[in-house]
Structures are given as C-alpha cells and as structure tokens.
Structure 1
C-alpha cells in the first residue's frame, strides 16, 4: 500500500518533534508498505529543521520518503505562524495534481493539528482514487475556543470549524489519539460509526548512548545527598499548570523531598520568578536533555508528576506522550488531571489527584514516599506492563493500518 500522510509539523528522531508520524511510518515501512510524509520545512516544534532549496524536495529517513515544502520561518503564535500555515496550504492546493500523480497513494491521511489540510488531502485522494482519512490530534477549533476564549463567531474559528465538519462528512475513517473524540463528532451532528481510537505510544528496545549532561549530573548529586525526587519533564507551558507543583513544594515540610522541573517552555522564566518570590527553596529548574537521555533522567526520579489545567475539553480524553514515558520507565506517577480517561488508575501505577490542587499533590507524594520499596517498585512495574500491552508503536501501527484497509 502507498500511504501519503500530511502533517505540517512532522519530525523524526533526527529533527525532533513531532514524532508520531515518524514512528508510525517506520513501522509501516517495516511491514512492507511505502510511506510518504508531506511536511513543512520549518516548524517551531523541531530542534533541527531540514535545509532545502526548493519546494517538494525529498529526503529518505529510515525508509520513509519525506517531502518538504518551503515555508517562512516564524516565532510564537502571531502573524508569522499564520503566514507559515497559509503558505503550506496554498502550495499543497496548487500542486495537488503533481503530488497525486507522482506518489499515487492508496490512502491519504490529513494529520496536522489544525484541520485545514483536509482540503488538499481530499483533492489528492479524489484524483488518486484513494481512501481519505482524518487524524485528530487536538480538537480544533474547540481547543482555541476552550483554552484561548475565542468566540465561535470569530472568522478563524468559523474557518476551522468548516474544515473539521468537512472532514467528518467526507472521510472514510476518522482516527483519533483521544479516546472519546467520537463524542465530539456526535455533538457536531455526525455519525461516529467510522471512528477509530489509536492512542499515542512508546518505542521499545531502542537504547542509544548519549553524552552525559549537566541535568543528569545534578540529579545524581541530589540522589547521592539523599533527596527523594519528585520530577516533571517536558514543556513548561500554561496548560501544564506547573505553579501547582511549586505550590505543592512550598507546602511540603520534609526537607529531604525536592521537586525538580526538567525542560524549557514559554513560562519557565515566570515559574522561576514565582518560586523565588514565593520563597520556595525545595524546587530546582534544570535544562532539557537529549531525547536519548530521557531514560537516564527518569530512572533518577522517585515520582514522576504530570498535571493539566481543568478544562471541559478533557471530557473527550487525553493521551499524553509524557505519561507513557513515565510508565515505561517504571516510575510511580502522580496524575493531576481530570479527564474522561485515566491510564494511571486503569494500570494502578500511581495516584490520581484533582487538577490544580497542591494539597492533594503533597498528600500523594507522602503516601508514595511512605510505601515500602517493593510497593513502589510494584506501582512502577504496573505502569510498564500496561504500556507494553497497550501502547507500543508496533501494535498501534497495526491498529492504524487495519483502519486504513
């Protein structure tokens, strides 16, 4: 089968986020299929963007054919990003015939976070007589409406809603990372008979030698000094409400418990200042590490923490990659998330607490700390067993492929 996947932000192990198209594509290639990933040459998510001279340059990565489209660089979420998206969409629309005739796909997947790529995907699929699929990552435009406070009458929201409705109406299958996104389809007045849930996952068996980094050295120092470490790894963004973690640290009286936040993000400096002005001394902010070093970070943590803002949006479920990384590392988890699904509870790998509740976080920290080593290890192993059974990319790629067939 020839599979053409359109994802504006598609990355790889060599470029950085986002990884899902790469991991899925690599598995499909291994199963004997041809995979073409169509993406923009510039994305704010990647650590390293491809360098191309002209539109639709090809790059073969681990058997996947990446086709890069030249787009303008940008910073933040302003006019520059809108111009980047508009350029990508315009070039796909103007060249859909060339793309369809050259790659002759059997399946076309529109998979960007925003739904506008459904239009060129539909044109390519129609010209190629291919099946058309729409993959939901985040629910747009519901996400900017819920989180950003945009009105449903905002012109941008109207445009995005038309695109999502078009996808629901015209696709052979709707595939989503979110377990309950079918509820949203029904809310919009569409049947969910063609809905398939394929969550995020983990890669098994890939161990790479990475250089020692200062963050790991510091964590090891803290362990050697006898600290019990409660850690968060990843993006420091408003959605992760990391001030809850700082507030929990302030309320923690045990001097040998330390909270560590590993990573970067657009509110990191604000969080550092918040901890300083709040006189919180048992928090440390550490630099991000290479992806290949994340296992070395997680093994030094006694508890892994994940939190999200209270949002009606999460009634459709969540599928955070970070959580599965925590579970695969066999670490007990504190899950400060209120959503329609709860992998921590399902797997019995930690403690679920209400979102944005620092007192509940402190209690969970103390409850886990007071467990015996065997009990802590059992919690961690429960999480690892759960992701190995439900979230390996090999199994997820097979499930996705069944939907394509």
Structure 2
C-alpha cells in the first residue's frame, strides 16, 4: 500500500502558483517513488493581497500535477507586524480542525513533515501527529529564534527570547526526526548543550541534513523556454550578475562600490535583478554617481532566472557578513541555481561548511570588501579559458548532488527511519 506523506509549509502557496519549489519538488519525486504526498499551506500569499478562495470553508483543495494542495484559511498578511502574527496564529489553529475533516475524507497519513519558517507549523505537526499516532518530522529551514536575535528584533535574554528558545527546545525534543537545511545546524544543538552526549535530551542520531537545491530538468527546460529579450543580457560584455532580494542583509550597495572601482573596464557590466526596500536608494546612487556600468533590472519572474544565468559570466552571491551567522553553511536557493547555470560564483562572505570550496566552483572573499570583490571579478575575467571552463563545470557537476531527485531519496531515508522507530515503539508497547 502507498504511504501517505503530508508536507506542511505555511508558505507553499507560492510553490502551487509557480509549480516549483522545495515541497512541490519533494512531492513530485515522492510520487515517482510510490508515495502519496499532500501539501498543506495557507490560502494566502506572503506579503500579497491575493489569496485562494476557500468559499467560506476552513480549507479548499486543488490538485496540480497529481499533487493535492490543501489551502488552510487564514487572513492576509502584509509586512511583518500584527497581521503576520495573526496570519501565523490562524494557520496553526485552523490546522487542527482542517486535519480532523480531511482525515474523515481521505484517511490519516503515515508520516507528517512539518516545515518552518515559523515554528507554529512544527508545534501543530507534533501535536496532531501524536493524536493520530503517526511520526512527525520537523524541518528547520531557518534557525528561529536565532535569526530574530541576529537581526536585533529581540534579545535572547529577554522574556520573549527565553520563551522562543524554550519553544524551539520543545520542538527539537518532541520531533521524531529533525531535518536541517544547513550542514552545520546541528552544531547549534551542541552549542546549547541540548544533545545527549552533554546530558541533554536530543539524540543527534535523529538529526539529518537535506539542503535546498534545484530541479535540474525544470532548470534546463526553463532556460530554453523562458527567454528574456534584453540587449544588455544578450550583449558580448562580461556580465556580472546578481539575482535576489535588495535588502540590508543582501548588502547590494557593496556591488555598486565594486562597480565604481571598475567603471573604466568598459567590457564589464553589472546586471542586478530583484526588488526590495533598498532598490530606490540604490537606483538614486547609480544616477548620482553616474555608474553607467550598472543596470538595475527590477523584479523578474522566477521562470526567467535560468535563462538570465545562462547569459552571465560570473554570478555574485552577495550578503552582509555581519547581519547573519554564516558559520553553519548556506541553504540559499540561488546558490544552487547559480551552480546549475555552470558559471563561476563569487560569494562576498566566507561560509562554514562551504559548498563553493567543496566543489571548487568559485571564490569566497576573505574580507568582504568592495576592493576584494572588484579584484576577484577581474581575476575571473582574466583567467585562462581552461581555468574558467573548469570552474563552471565544477559548479554544474556539484549541482547534481543538490538535484531534487537526489534530495528526495535522502528524505525517503528519513521517512523510513521514523517508520522503523514507530514500529519498534508499537511492538515494545504490545510486548509490554
């Protein structure tokens, strides 16, 4: 009999719309492996007014590419204020009654995978799985509340900080398995002394590493089908490309500083794709400083990214090295898209558990300065054809290890491990 796997991600509504993304690709590949996946998500889109109409019911269902999506009714959330908190709370509360009804119609699952970003999805996953007598895998895609403390939104020693940390500890203790997207995330458990080896209650054997990745087939098809008519992109210049958000953590101003240092290199141009709260400020800088070698391209459809990257000469993975803890690695989606494009990568931060170093597919800056970035762009431009080709090939070959076909097999191993443990538990109770 086919095992039913429920994948819970509050924000998977975007994946339904784009027909792609982590849990969409997991579901697609689980079907190929003989499983029956169902994705549960909110009926709203993050930071947008549009929503999936549930016809005044607690949930609605739609099936796309043989993947059932269950849309749990919530309220629209724009920004990060009280509306977002309400949106999260409603998703959490409504999951309980939605599951009750959904089980009556379709039976209970064999395993629940409850994914962050926010922790309430995982809390619901653990509680509901316990009621149903099935295992719950908790997937941590961002270390909450550490990320909140990093951005100074709350202090770890404050009452809120202590409550969030206690909640996180409860999740880690009570999940049947933990999946982290960064290789070094289990170091966090050791740092907190929560692991059994240091007298804590979390056995590190239940921790697994499955990074983000890329669906290589979709990437290749998209690269051919979704072409962008853009004379800058299609010029013979050495295209330095950045794709992503334009916010403080991405430190895109640093790219402008590097461009300023290279403005006499007439064959190099910087193409910046994306949107965010710093875009207008940077556009003003480009005009004021007369940076004719920089083009801000604005928001682009995700489907166009593979083609854009196919026209790059080097891709910039650009971050602030002070606003985040990079010691545990990187799980950025764009890293794997960059690798899939087969072009060298420059990261403006030095990462722990470095994928770029492991696959020899680019350069990580030591000091994160604009001078260093400008020098490394020139170094890649002036490389021998063979060196340049090898770096690009290493990127492309490395991407194969992060193809969702491979990542799904890792998830299948985790599913099998929680299944085995549940069977042992039941058999021990029965013998007792």
Q: 1:269 aligns with which of 263, 280, 285?
A: 280
User: Is 1:380 matched up with 2:384?
Assistant: no
Partner Cα distance (1:68, 1:398) in 2: 27
Whether the aligned pair in 2 keeps the contact of 1:5 and 1:37 (CA below 8 Å) is: yes
Structure 1 SS opposite 2:353: coil
User: Is 1:218 matched up with 2:232?
Assistant: yes
Q: 2:211 aligns with which of 199, 216, 241?
A: 199
Q: Deviations over 1:93-136 (max 9, x none)?
A: 44454445544111111102011222221222112211111101
Whether the aligned pair in 1 keeps the contact of 2:96 and 2:128 (CA below 8 Å) is: no
Q: TM-score, normalised to structure 2's length? A: 0.86
Structure 2 SS opposite 1:313: coil
Query: In the alignment, which residue of structure 2 is the partner of 1:105?
Result: 109
User: Is 1:247 matched up with 2:257?
Assistant: yes
Query: In the alignment, which residue of structure 1 is the partner of 2:37?
Result: 35
Structure 2 SS opposite 1:143: helix
Q: 1:129 aligns with which of 127, 133, 143?
A: 133
| Residue 163 (structure 1) shift | 2.5
Structure 1 SS opposite 2:380: helix
Whether the aligned pair in 2 keeps the contact of 1:56 and 1:68 (CA below 8 Å) is: yes
Query: In the alignment, which residue of structure 2 is the partner of 1:167?
Result: 171
Q: Deviations over 1:284-320 (max 9, x none)?
A: 1013333232222112111111122224622222111
Instruction: Let me know the Cα RMSD of the aligned residues.
Output: 2.2
Whether the aligned pair in 1 keeps the contact of 2:348 and 2:365 (CA below 8 Å) is: yes
| Residue 187 (structure 1) shift | 2.4
Partner Cα distance (1:145, 1:116) in 2: 18
Distance of aligned partners of 1:356 and 1:11 in 2 relative to their CA distance in 1, 3 Å threshold? farther
| Residue 86 (structure 1) shift | 1.4
Partner Cα distance (1:112, 1:141) in 2: 11
Partner Cα distance (1:365, 1:50) in 2: 44
Distance of aligned partners of 1:150 and 1:383 in 2 relative to their CA distance in 1, 3 Å threshold? same
User: Is 1:359 matched up with 2:371?
Assistant: yes
User: Is 1:332 matched up with 2:328?
Assistant: no
Structure 2 SS opposite 1:266: coil
Q: Deviations over 1:152-180 (max 9, x none)?
A: 24454344323311111111111011111
| Residue 375 (structure 1) shift | 2.3
Partner Cα distance (2:130, 2:340) in 1: 41
| Residue 14 (structure 1) shift | 4.9
Distance of aligned partners of 1:106 and 1:211 in 2 relative to their CA distance in 1, 3 Å threshold? closer
User: Is 1:146 matched up with 2:150?
Assistant: yes
Query: In the alignment, which residue of structure 2 is the partner of 1:313?
Result: 325
Query: In the alignment, which residue of structure 2 is the partner of 1:182?
Result: 186
Q: 2:271 aligns with which of 260, 265, 281?
A: 260
Within-5 A mapping of 1:281-300: 281-300=292-311
Q: 1:400 aligns with which of 397, 401, 411?
A: 411
Whether the aligned pair in 2 keeps the contact of 1:109 and 1:134 (CA below 8 Å) is: yes
Partner Cα distance (2:16, 2:209) in 1: 28
Whether the aligned pair in 2 keeps the contact of 1:173 and 1:194 (CA below 8 Å) is: yes
Whether the aligned pair in 2 keeps the contact of 1:134 and 1:175 (CA below 8 Å) is: yes
Distance of aligned partners of 1:51 and 1:98 in 2 relative to their CA distance in 1, 3 Å threshold? closer
Structure 2 SS opposite 1:254: coil
Partner Cα distance (1:18, 1:71) in 2: 22
Query: In the alignment, which residue of structure 2 is the partner of 1:44?
Result: 46
Q: 2:313 aligns with which of 296, 302, 305?
A: 302
Q: Structure 1 residues 117-126 or 96-105, which shifts more?
A: 96-105
| Residue 382 (structure 1) shift | 0.9
Aligned residues: 399
Partner Cα distance (2:160, 2:289) in 1: 39
Q: 1:91 aligns with which of 87, 91, 94?
A: 94
Q: 1:234 aligns with which of 244, 247, 254?
A: 244
Partner Cα distance (1:382, 1:213) in 2: 26
Q: TM-score, normalised to structure 1's length? A: 0.92
Partner Cα distance (2:14, 2:84) in 1: 21
Structure 2 SS opposite 1:35: strand
Partner Cα distance (2:170, 2:414) in 1: 19
Distance of aligned partners of 1:149 and 1:55 in 2 relative to their CA distance in 1, 3 Å threshold? closer
Partner Cα distance (2:227, 2:374) in 1: 31
